[in-house]
Amino acid sequence: MRLKISKHVLGIVGSPRRQGNTDLLVEEILRGVKDAGGTTSKVLLDVMDIRPCKGCFACEKTGVCVQNDDMAELIEQMKASQVWVLGTPIYWWGPSAQIKAFIDRWVSISREHFRGKRVVLAIPMGGGAESYARHTVGMFRDIFDYLGIQHIATVLAPGFGRKGEVKTAHSIMEEARQAGKKATA
Amino acid sequence: MIKSQRVIGFVGSPRRNGNTEILVDEVLAGAQEVGAQVEKIQLTHLNIGPCRGCGSCKRTGKCAQDDDMAVLLEKMTESHVWVFGTPLYWWGPTAQFKAFMDRWYSAEGSMFQGQRVILVIPFAAGSASEGIRHIVGMFETSLGKRNIFATVLAPGVYSLGAVRRHTEVLERARQTGRDVIQISS
C-alpha cells in the first residue's frame, strides 16, 4: 500500500477588500483543494505588516531580510506549503500594491524554496475583458519561469468590480473549484 | 512672456542616490536647462497608503485616506510633465511606485488628459528585451500610449549608482528632459 501524503495549499489574498472578489475566488479554489483531500490555510496580506523592499540587498549577504515584520512568518508558511494560490485584483492593468510588496520581498528567499512549487493565480477585474489582466499575468509568468515555479492554472474573472459579485458567476466559481482540485492532484 | 512649464519627477526606488534617482535627476536637469520649473519627489519617504478598494472616492471625489497623496495629486495637476521613475522589480514597478499609482484612482480623469509623461526604468538585465514589456504595457495602457513622450531605459544596471558609468544613458535622459520642453511647448 502506498501512503499518499496530502498537500497543503496556502491562499494569499492581495486585495484590500475582505470577502471581495479576490478573497472569494481564493476561497473557492481552496474548497476545491479540500475536495481533493488537501489541507488549506489563507492569509490576507492587507491586514499583515509587510513593508516594501528597501533595496538594501542585505539579504544577499546574510540570507535574511533586515526588516522585522510579518514576512518572516509568511515565508515559513510558504515553505510548508506545496501549492500557493496567489490572488490579486487588477489595478491599473497591474497587481495591487499589497501583493507587489509581498512579491518584492521574495528577493530574500533562497531559490530552492521556489523550485517545483505549484501556483494557481486568481485574478478578478472590473474591466470587462480578460485582456485587462494581460500585463499582470505576463509579469507572473516571467517570475514563475525564472524561479522554476509550476504554473498550474489561472482563474480570471473579468467584469467584476463590485464587492463580492463574482459569487453569482457560477461558471467562474466552478472553474476556481476545479483549479483547486487540479493543483492538489 | 511665456510662463515656464512645470516638470515633476517621482522616484519610486527605495534607494537614495540609486540609478532611478540619478536618471530622474538628469531628466529634470535637462528640463531646467531650457527653462522649466522642476521638482523631485521621493515616494519612499512619503506616507502613501495602498488603495483600500473602498470606492468612497467615486462617491465623494476624494480618498478616505488622509496621507501625503492629496498633495501629490495637487502637484500632478499643476504640472505639465510627469517623470515616473521606478526600477524593475520582478518584472513590474516597485511596490512603492504601485501604491502611488493605485491611488490615482481617486483623481479626476481630466488630470490625465493630454499629460506628457516620461518613463525612467533602470533594470539589471543586459538588454532592453522582453523583460520590460509588462511594466511598459501597464504604463501605456494606464496613461495612454500617446501621452508617453519618451521612455528612458537603462539596461544592465544593478548596484547602487552603477548608471553613472553609462554616460550615453545619462545624456539620453538629459536630452529627453530638454526635448519634452522644447519639442512639445
Chain B interface with A: residues with Cβ < 8 Å = 13-15, 18, 44, 50-54, 87, 89-96, 98-99, 101-102, 104-105, 130-131, 133-135, 137-138, 141-142
**What was the pLDDT predicted at A4?**
66
C-beta separation of A174 from A32 below 8 A: no
Name, of B58-62, B134-138, B157-161, the range with top average pLDDT.
Answer: B134-138
Residue B144 clears pLDDT 80, i.e. is over it: yes
Rounded Cα–Cα distance for residues B12 and B86 (Å): 5
* CA distances (Å), origin B184, targets A70, B38, B81, B151: 48, 16, 10, 16
Q: What pLDDT, in 10s, does the model give residues B4-19?
A: 999 999 999 999 999 9
Residue A91 clears pLDDT 60, i.e. is over it: yes
CB-CB under 8 Å, B105 with A91: yes
* Å between A57 CA and nearest CA of chain B: 9
C-beta separation of A78 from A113 below 8 A: yes
CA dihedral B9, B13, A127, A18 (to 10 degrees): -130
Residue B1 clears pLDDT 50, i.e. is over it: no
* Å between A22 CA and nearest CA of chain B: 12
Q: What pLDDT, in 10s, does the model give residues A128-146?
A: 999 999 999 999 999 999 9
Q: Which of residues 74-113 of A touch B (CB under 8 A)?
A: 89, 91-98, 100-101, 103-104, 106-107
Rounded to an integer, the average pLDDT of A54-72 is 95
Strand order in the sheet with B81-85: B37-42, B6-11, B81-85, B116-122, B148-154
The H-or-E segment that residue B96 falls in is: helix B95-102
**What was the pLDDT predicted at B78?**
96
Rounded Cα–Cα distance for residues A170 and A173 (Å): 5
Task: Please give the model's pTM, rounded to 2 decimal places.
Answer: 0.96
Residue A1 clears pLDDT 80, i.e. is over it: no
Q: Is A147 on the interface with B (CB under 8 A)?
A: no
Angle at which helices B95-102 and A97-104 pack, to 10 degrees?
180
